Structure 1
Amino acid sequence: MILLPAIDMKDGCCVRLKKGDFATVHQVANSALETAKRFADAGASWVHMVDLDGARDGIRQNFPFIYEVIQDSGLQVELGGGIKNELDVITVGGAGVSRMVIGSAAVSRPDLVAYALEQYGADRVSVGIDCLNGSVRTSGWEQDSGLDCLEFAAHMEQIGVRTIIFTDIAADGMLSGPSYRQLDALQKVVSCKLVASGGVTTLDDVKRLRDMGIYGAIIGKAYYAGTLDLAQAVREAGPQE
């Protein structure tokens, strides 16, 4: 199982939120690049980055910092936030992102997902499904789409998506453990690679997700709060791509 330690960017800073609430934003690190290099030193091969300003406002003000990580960290970058149209897809893909995450736009514009798949292939395109109480949320988690997350995941697989990043908003930033039940339900519905996001807190969480056959797990607050040693987690997760 691959581990993807996370860097969320807002106003040029590395931050964390609780349950996606922008009112809870707080800075956790000074430099995205230096943070990514520490991830690499711990044995990670991937970093999961989120452009929070892009997700909420469509403004790509964090891209210079993200581009530094792409160019100089030695990590493969998975990037989400603000990928809303064809120009965004080409910009992010052309910048060298290893895998883009299309979130809200996948709900409103599934044709954009198909476009991205056509341009870059299934290995470089994923869909982020952000779920609260079984329903897909959009616009930086602030709007309820009314779509059932399992049905939506199945639809995305039908159009060619092979990687899904699943976030349980209720668990995100809460150090409460992943949503094993929802992940298990997803595994029964789709054959996509699943990346678990939200609530991964302890080494036991990493082991349990690994044993479930989950493809990847995003490590967020647990790293910054010190509840999970990344190097130890990487050793338990196994070989990193």
Structure 2
Amino acid sequence: MIILPAIDIRQGKCVRLYQGVFEKSSVVAESPVITAKSFEKAGAKFIHVVDLDGALEGEVVNLKAIENIIKATKVPIELGGGIRNIKTVDKLINIGVKRVILGTAALKDREFTKKAVKEYGNSIAVGIDAKSGYVAVDGWLSVSEVNYIEFAKVMEDIGINNIILTDISKDGTLNGPNFEMLKELNSSVRCNITASGGIKDLDDLVKLSEMNIYGAIVGKAIYSNKVDLKKAVKSIEVR
């Protein structure tokens, strides 16, 4: 399993949300670049980046900050937030984003999702943000009537090989991830599953690794010193 430290960008700064509520965001670092370089130094093999302003606006907003991260480090990044058309995907791939995460667009625009997968294959991932088992969209501001398992199966049929599952109720809480939801999804599709939301300590990461989860996104636990990224990477890698 790989550990993906998280950088959520809002107004150019690193922030963390609590249960997806933008009004409850708090700045955890001024510079995304300095933060990314610290993750690289700690041994991160991948960095998870979200453009929170983009998720709300429906288009990538913090492109300069994203470019700066890519230029400053050698660690590949995956990016989500506001990616709604193939032109944006083209631009992000061209500036060096390793994996582009589709969220709202994957649910609302199936043809675009198919085209993106056809063009870029495994460089396209889908983020499934779930609330009470149903897919949330538009920066988590609205919840669809689509079950997260059903949606994952549709994405798998399209050709998606990487799915990031976030239980919104767990996000930013440090209460542990939704292991049952992750277990159900992991057994329902053949895609690589990345766990996101609520991871609080090394024990959570060990348990996810034992469940054969592909990746784990860790944000607040790193920023609040609950998880030492360097130690966690070494510990999980030797398992």
- Give the shorter-chain TM-score range: over 0.9
Residue 8 of structure 1 aligns with an amino acid whose one-letter code is D
Aligned residue number for residue 9 of structure 2:
9
- Alignment map for 1:11-26 (pairs within 5 Å): 11-26=11-26
Q: Which residue of structure 1 aligns with residue 189 of structure 2?
A: 190
Q: What letter is aligned with 2:43?
A: G
Partner of 1:120: 120
- Is 2:54 the counterpart of 1:60? no
**SS of residue paired to 1:228:** coil
Q: Secondary structure at the match of 2:136?
A: strand
- After superposition, where does 1:130-145 map in structure 2 within 5 Å? 130-145=129-144
Q: Which amino acid letter does the alignment assign opposite residue 39 of structure 2?
A: F
Tell whether the 8 Å contact from 1:79 to 1:99 is kept in structure 2 after alignment: yes
Partner of 1:87: 87
Structure 1: distance between partners of 2:96 and 2:88: 13
Secondary structure of the corresponding residue to residue 34 of structure 1: helix
Kindly, what percent of the aligned residue pairs are identical?
44
Question: Contact between 2:55 and 2:138, CA under 8 Å: does it hold in 1?
Answer: yes
Verify the 8 A CA contact 1:126 1:165 in the aligned structure 2.
Answer: yes
Call closer, same or farther: CA 1:60–1:187 in 2, change over 3 Å.
Answer: closer
Q: Report the secondary structure of 1:121's partner residue.
A: helix
Does structure 2 conserve the Cα–Cα contact (< 8 Å) formed by 1:12 and 1:61? no
Task: Show the 5 A alignment for 1:144-163.
Answer: 144-163=143-162
Supply the AA of the counterpart residue of 1:171. K
Offset of 1:59 from its aligned partner?
A: 4.3
Unaligned runs of 5+ residues in structure 1 are: none
1:220 positional shift = 0.7
Distance in 2 (CA, whole Å) between partners of 1:181 and 1:32 is 32
| AA partner of residue 161 (structure 1) | I
SS, match of residue 208 in structure 2: helix
TM-score normalized by the length of structure 2: 0.97
Q: Is the 8 A contact 2:100 2:124 kept in 1?
A: yes
- The 4+ residue runs of structure 1 with deviation greater than 4 A are none
- Aligned residues of 2:85 and 2:112 also touching (Cα < 8 A): yes
Q: Report the counterpart of residue 31 of structure 1 in structure 2.
A: 31
CA shift digits 1:113-150 (9 cap, x unpaired): 1111111112x110000001000000001111110000
Whether the aligned pair in 2 keeps the contact of 1:206 and 1:236 (CA below 8 Å) is no
Partner of residue 40, structure 1: 40
In the alignment, the residues of structure 2 paired with residue 79 and residue 12 of structure 1 have an alpha-carbon distance, to the nearest angstrom, of 15
TM-score (norm 1): 0.97
Q: Is the 8 A contact 1:132 1:169 kept in 2?
A: yes
Total equivalences in the alignment: 238
Letter in 2 for 1:224: Y
Q: Which residue of 2 aligns with 1:172?
A: 171
Unaligned runs of 5+ in 2: none
Residue 60 (structure 1) shift: 2.9
Partner of 1:225: 224
Kept after mapping to 2: 8 A contact 1:196/1:218: yes
SS of the aligned residue for 1:25 comes to: strand
